[in-house]
A = this chain, B = another copy of it.
Amino acid sequence: MTEPTKRLAAASEDALWRIFTVPEAPDSTLSIIEQNLSQNLAGFLRESIVALEKPLWQIERDFQAHQIPLSPQFVSDYAESMMQKLVAHSVHTASPSFIGHMTSALPYFVLPLSKMMVGLNQNLVKIETSKAFTPLERQVLGMMHHLVYGEKDNFYKKWMHSANHSLGAFCSGGTVANITALWIARNRLLKADGDFKGIAREGLFRALKHYGYDGLAIVVSERGHYSLGKAADVLGIGRDYVVSVKTDADNKVDVAQMQQVLTELAAKNIKVLAIVGVAGTTETGNIDPLAQLADLAEQFQCHFHVDAAWGGATLLSDQYRHLMAGIERADSVTIDAHKQMYVPMGAGMVVFKHPSSAHAIEHHAEYILRKGSKDLGSQTLEGSRPGMAMLVHACLQVIGRDGYEILINRSLEKARYFATLIEHNIDFELITAPELCLLTYRYVPAQVQKAMAVATSEQRQQFNELLNGLTKFIQKRQREEGKSFVSRTRLTPAAYDRQETIVFRVVLANPLTTEQILHDVLVEQDQIAQQNKEFYPKLLQLAKTLTG
């Protein structure tokens, strides 16, 4: 069959039947695109995505129609137009020189496996529409549980496939994972008691009245992920009750201050729902002192959740897993497989220390999620969802612990290498050294550094404002030129009098990023800086007035 016969020209029954029964011809436009993609993904992305960034409003012009088209379209025409309008203006997340986000290159085998997953079109909400995918997902959660908690063999024999227990929940991402963990914490805290049927049935208002609390709180470092605010909002706790604790110079939570906060909240009769430890902050990649937080959680008798969405994969490295010490004492842990585990987007997980934790959020329904069944939907926030666990399973088996050991270690070493590079470059300043594979830095011309050393506090502030403008300019221009990409964020480093400081943020998880690329990123930033007509000359002038 040739492509035109596939057109639903007059939207005939026959043509419609065909799109469900007749595969793409090998010479169809879409098949040819797919072959390019299969034979050389890196080349496909490099050639299909235009380097020079188009302004968003121009891209939007191709997505203006608000009416679903009446007439069907040739698949080939659609595919071609999407190559121009969509693919060309996507983000080259797999590029080794795009070191600003947490999305990296993918191993090749996940592409055909994804297609298989989509073709099988299983629905993990219940066993009737997922069958073997259910034990597979439970196994993945069991393996991740073992990675975190390392319980004995019997533990997994007993619980991994037990109908009414869960070692974790598979989610679309870390946000849903964090919400799930805190939902469980909330419901376990405000459980049924005497006449009170529990928060799940009676709601938060009656729960707080019954238990006599004036409010609930989540305590976390100021570097906690924004999803905790979302969770507090959704769960009815209120975003103002995500109580932020200052971090030390190294971006780890100040434990003494956290203890004080916990004491103050108790005095105000605000019950702490959970202490959240961050294992790999989004901005700087630092890890809270988890063992000390576990102690606090014991002392104040509250749930201890660790948000290891980013850092969790470090557990796969025997060399570096000690950085996460204490995580095994958490009641729940979030880990995203679509970050440092090299799985495609859409694979978050939360694991629970106790197999019965999810009882607190269990739901049943007649036609679905029957009691005693192994339906996964009865213990997850999401309902219908795809079999993404298969791709995590594949990566765990094909890459293995030994493979991940190398991948994780190399990432961390690369970050250390880049940090050294920055420190040896007189026109750059390292702001946060990498604990994992994240670091932040900025461009500060040598003469400005010299001047700042002798500047008054007021002058320093003036320098800082100019530097913030320059950093923003460099980051934006570099992104627009499309050769490389670093992200930016705002920190308040002690070294800069806790002033708001805009910095470049780099994530070095892409195995294909070379040392040469890191050199080139700095060279490009240096060049862009010198092209700046606003902040750069002002900085030099100000420096001159101080150091002559």
Contact = CB atoms under 8 A, between A and B. Distances in A.
Nearest to A202: B238
A236 B235 contact: yes
Given A68-B400, A142-B66, A204-B205, A112 B346 contact: no
Interface string A207-234: 0100000111000000001110110111
A379 to B, nearest CB: 11
Interface in A376-433: 381-387, 390, 394, 396-403, 405-407, 410
Contacts of A122: 90-91, 93, 345
A400 B69 contact: yes
Given A382-B176, A406-B13, A128 B487 contact: yes
A496 interface: no
Contacts of A226: 363-365, 368-369, 383
A214 B202 CA distance: 11
A175 B383 contact: yes
Given A90-B132, A132-B90, A396-B69, A236 B203 contact: yes
Nearest to A237: B203
A316 B143 CA distance: 44
Contacts of A123: 93, 101, 103, 345
B173 A8 contact: no
A65 B139 CA distance: 7
Nearest to A75: B109
B236 A63 contact: no
A384 B345 contact: yes
B93 A129 contact: yes
Interface in A101-124: 101, 103, 105-116, 118-123
B131 A91 contact: yes
Contact of A174 (B44, B131, B384): B384
A176 B374 CA distance: 21
A327 interface: no
A325 interface: no
A464 interface: no
Interface string A329-342: 00000001010000
A397 B116 contact: no
A265 interface: no
A42 B20 CA distance: 9
**Binding site secondary structure of chain A:** helix
A182 to B, nearest CB: 10
Contacts of A63: 132, 135-136, 138-139, 161
Contact of A59 (B60, B62, B135, B410): B135
Interface stretch (A32-40, A247-255, A289-297): A32-40
Contacts of A121: 93-94, 103, 106, 344-345
27 contacts: A8-B402, A11-B406, A16-B403, A24-B38, A30-B109, A37-B115, A45-B120, A63-B138, A69-B400, A71-B401, A71-B402, A75-B109, A79-B109, A79-B113, A86-B133, A89-B131, A90-B132, A101-B123, A114-B118, A115-B115, A172-B346, A172-B384, A201-B239, A204-B236, A205-B205, A226-B383, A346-B384
A535 interface: no
A193 interface: no
A85 interface: yes
Nearest to A106: B121
A343 to B, nearest CB: 10
A368 B56 CA distance: 17
Residue of A67, A68, A366 with most partner-chain B CB within 10 A = A68
A233 B82 CA distance: 41
